[in-house]
Amino acid sequence: MFVFEQAKGNKEANYEQMLKQCEALLEGETDWLANLANTASHLFHVLPDINWAGYYLMKDGELVLGPFQGKPACVRIPVGKGVCGTAVAKEQTMVVEDVLAFPGHIACDAASRSEIVIPLRIDGKIVGVLDIDSPVEKRFDQVDQKYLEAYVAIVLSHTDWSPILNGSCFA
Ligand code: SME
């Protein structure tokens, strides 16, 4: 059983603890579906002021909804559309302080006000994104970006991506 409490207090210290928890959560497990499901749940329950955390994975040239926590979300996002598709097209993390001011933002939960999207890059190829939404405007800053990118790096390094890279997980 894992018991994770929502982080309170110093932001950097909380993130350092979260990264250790992530390592512990993934220890000895390389299954992509299990690891994405467990880390979506971990992020959702530990990060304060968020209303959605989860993954979209590339399939046949578009993003398709993967493991997540939060309200049901739109299933398919074309590359270049919304915050998620823009992160894939630009191959970079997107930090959106006010989603209402982001042209083409795709609203899955009307409560969302800010968002961070981090590409999942394996062998130079983007295979998906981590997407986190908040009901608070300007919820994510450079500290969040730095630590959430580190979190994604842990997920990437602990997981066997061959079923995704050779397409067999979607066959
Ligand atoms: N807001 C995202 C869509 C996914 S949901 O937030 C879960 C976007 O604009 O790409």
The number of residues in the chain equals 171
* CA angle in degrees (0–180, nearest 5) for 41-21-53: 25
Atom of ligand 1 nearest to the CA of 68: 7
Q: How many whole angstroms from 108 Cα to the centroid of ligand 1?
A: 6
Q: How many whole angstroms from 92 Cα to the centroid of ligand 1?
A: 16
Provide the pLDDT for residue 138. Answer: 98
Q: How many whole angstroms from 116 Cα to the centroid of ligand 1?
A: 9
| Distance separating alpha carbons of residues 101 and 40, to the nearest angstrom | 26
Query: To 10 degrees, what angle do helices 11-26 and 142-158 make?
Result: 10
Domains of the chain, start order: 11-164 (3.30.450.40)
Provide the pLDDT for residue 6. Answer: 64
* pLDDT (tens digit per residue) in 37-56: 999 999 999 999 999 999 99
Q: Which residue owns the Cα nearest ligand 1 atom 2?
A: 106
Residue from 59, 126, 133 nearest 89 by CA: 126
Provide the pLDDT for residue 7. Answer: 62
| Distance separating alpha carbons of residues 90 and 12, to the nearest angstrom | 27
| Distance separating alpha carbons of residues 132 and 130, to the nearest angstrom | 7
> Residues 7, 18: contact at Cβ < 8 Å?
yes
Name the average pLDDT for the chain. Answer: 93
* pLDDT (tens digit per residue) in 135-170: 999 999 999 999 999 999 999 999 999 888 877 665
